[in-house]
């Protein structure tokens, strides 16, 4: 025997018309006799009707365009140069590496000179260092000593005479007079060569080429000029912010320049009025000796340094002993309930306004007639912290102990939407949202 509960579960399928024939007949016969089941059927039918009658949302016209936009963006990024060249570049890289390896292995000339200069190519001779089989005199002696059965004496080793170095002599050339003349000629030649090199250098840049230079020098190819980067429309040209060091340099420079201007005026014996400085400007005051620019770097004396180090050690020692330098506050003292505060004790920084109705608060001052300010105050009273403040929403962190209090008060006073986000047991994050201006309940 089926109970009413079983039959009720079949109702939904019965309405959809997907119930098998046997079950359907059984249900129909039951419905005739059972009032509650037939009522349930009626109600279900109504609800389904209501749900089906819900208006359908139509997609905004922006949907199609934005989909197309995103697809095009995707295509563009896909067909960008890098991605298109990626397989080719990778293959090319591998080929280059292989080629380089072969070149290195096959060529006999591995010296730097071979690749850098074209004038003279010295064939690379592989020097094979042949180790002489004969042992060094000291080692021989050691071996001898070992064979004979006693240790080699160190003193003997030290006494072994070292090979004397060949003395180096600086030979002074006695130059005959004719050669002196020749030397002068050589010097002149060298000078001419230098000049020519200079001219050659100049010839790289067509604007500076002189007529004389052109005669002697062969036509040389110009170095590749850098093409200026062309920015696309979509690209934003961003100015790079100055680094900290550069900023300091800049300010220092400005300071120096200011000083120079003023000193120059003094040197010339001009009055600041003559230079056209306004009497309220810093330069004017500086000139009159009333203004001193701040020193950017302070010089610290040795004694001061020592004092500071000693202080640091002292502080560290204190921290190690006490645990922290902060003063300890007992948590119960911070949240102690009092007679006035009642059952719900207040947070530490609160001004005790959380029990005063908003209407009264508004009459207190003009600032408190702003709803946002009031909300912030309520947050503060609940011991909360304001995390972010944006147009249309606030994000706050409230201790879990006072969250219900905070929530109820806010809901009672203002027309705002409050979303919750739990972090852990002790605190909770609330997002307070509103549209346009915050409205207060009347």
Q: Which residues of the chain form contacts with other proteins (CB under 8 A)?
A: 9, 11-13, 16, 18, 42-44, 46-48, 50-60, 62-64, 66-68, 70-71, 74, 407, 411, 418-421, 431
- Min dist CB 78 to other proteins, Å, is 11
Q: How far apart are CA 394 and CA 372, in angstroms?
A: 9
CB of 410 to other proteins, least distance (A): 11
Distance of alpha carbon 116 from alpha carbon 109, whole angstroms: 12
Closest contact distance (angstroms) between CB of 433 and other proteins is 11
Q: In this structure, are residues 37 and 12 in contact, taking their beta carbons and an 8 Å threshold?
A: no
Crossing angle of the two packed helices 371-381 and 403-413, in degrees rounded to 10: 160
Query: What torsion do the CA atoms of 299, 303, 305, 309 make, to the nearest 10 degrees?
Result: -170
Sign of torsion over alpha carbons 136, 139, 145, 149: negative
User: Which of residues 23 and 369 has its CB atom nearest to other proteins in the complex?
Assistant: 23
For the four alpha carbons of 348, 350, 354 and 355, in that order, the dihedral sign comes to positive
Q: How far is the CB of 29 from other proteins (least distance, A)?
A: 21
Least Å distance, CB 58 to other proteins, is 5
Contact 108, 123 (CB under 8 A): yes
- Nearer to other proteins (CB atom), residue 48 or residue 188: 48
Shortest reach from residue 208's CB to other proteins, in Å: 57
> Contact at 8 Å (CB) between 293 and 255?
yes
Residue closer to other proteins, measured from CB, 52 or 267: 52
Q: Residue 51 or residue 133: which is nearer to other proteins going by CB?
A: 51
430, exposed or middle or buried, with CB in 10 Å at 0-12, 13-18, 19+?
Answer: buried
Q: Which is nearer to other proteins, 46 or 307 (CB)?
A: 46
Query: Toward other proteins, which CB reaches closer, 287 or 430?
Result: 430
Structure tokens at 67: 């989909």
Q: Tell me how far, at minimum, the Cβ of 53 lies from other proteins, in Å.
A: 8
The dihedral sign for the CA sequence 140, 146, 149, 153 = positive
Nearer to other proteins, 67 or 185 (CB): 67
Distance between CA atoms of 406 and 374, rounded to whole angstroms?
Answer: 12
Tally of CB atoms within 10 A around 26: 15
């Amino acid at each position: 025997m089926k109970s009413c509960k079983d039959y009720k579960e079949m109702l939904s399928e019965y309405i959809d018309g997907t119930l098998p024939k046997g079950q359907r007949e059984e249900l129909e016969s039951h419905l005739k006799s059972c009032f509650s089941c037939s009522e349930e059927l009626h109600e279900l039918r109504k609800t389904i009707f209501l749900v089906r009658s819900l208006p359908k949302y139509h997609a905004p016209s922006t949907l199609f365009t934005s989909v197309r936009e995103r697809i095009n963006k995707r295509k563009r990024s896909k067909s960008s140069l890098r991605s298109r060249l990626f397989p080719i570049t990778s293959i090319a890289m591998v080929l280059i590496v292989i080629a380089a390896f072969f070149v290195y292995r096959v060529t006999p000339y591995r010296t730097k000179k071979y690749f850098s200069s074209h004038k003279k190519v010295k064939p690379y001779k592989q020097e094979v260092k042949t180790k002489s089989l004969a042992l060094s005199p000291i080692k021989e002696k050691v071996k001898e000593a070992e064979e004979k059965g006693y240790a080699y004496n160190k003193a003997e080793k030290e006494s072994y005479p070292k090979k004397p170095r060949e003395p180096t002599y600086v030979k002074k050339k006695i130059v005959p007079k004719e050669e002196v003349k020749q030397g002068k000629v050589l010097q002149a030649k060298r000078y001419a060569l230098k000049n020519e090199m200079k001219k050659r250098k100049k010839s790289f840049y067509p604007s500076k080429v002189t007529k004389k230079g052109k005669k002697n020098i062969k036509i040389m190819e110009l170095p590749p000029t850098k093409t200026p980067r062309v920015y696309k429309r979509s690209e934003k040209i961003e100015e790079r912010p100055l680094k900290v060091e550069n900023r300091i340099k800049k300010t220092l420079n400005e300071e120096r320049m200011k000083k120079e201007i003023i000193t120059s005026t003094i040197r010339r014996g001009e009055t600041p009025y003559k230079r056209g400085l306004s009497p309220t400007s810093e330069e004017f005051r500086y000139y009159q000796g009333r203004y001193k620019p701040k020193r950017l770097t302070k010089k610290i004396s040795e004694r001061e340094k020592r004092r500071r180090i000693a202080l640091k050690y002292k502080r560290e020692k204190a921290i190690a002993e006490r645990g922290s330098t902060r003063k300890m506050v007992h948590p119960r003292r911070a949240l102690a309930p009092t007679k006035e505060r009642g059952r719900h004790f207040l947070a530490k920084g609160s001004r005790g306004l959380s029990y005063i109705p908003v209407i009264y608060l508004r009459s207190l001052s003009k600032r408190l007639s702003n709803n946002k300010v009031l909300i912030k105050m309520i947050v503060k009273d609940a011991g909360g912290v304001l995390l972010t403040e944006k147009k249309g929403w606030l994000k706050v962190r409230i201790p879990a102990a006072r969250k219900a209090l905070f929530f109820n008060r806010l809901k009672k006073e203002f027309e705002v939407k409050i979303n919750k986000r739990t972090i852990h047991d002790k605190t909770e994050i609330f997002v307070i949202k509103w549209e346009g201006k915050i409205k207060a309940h009347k």
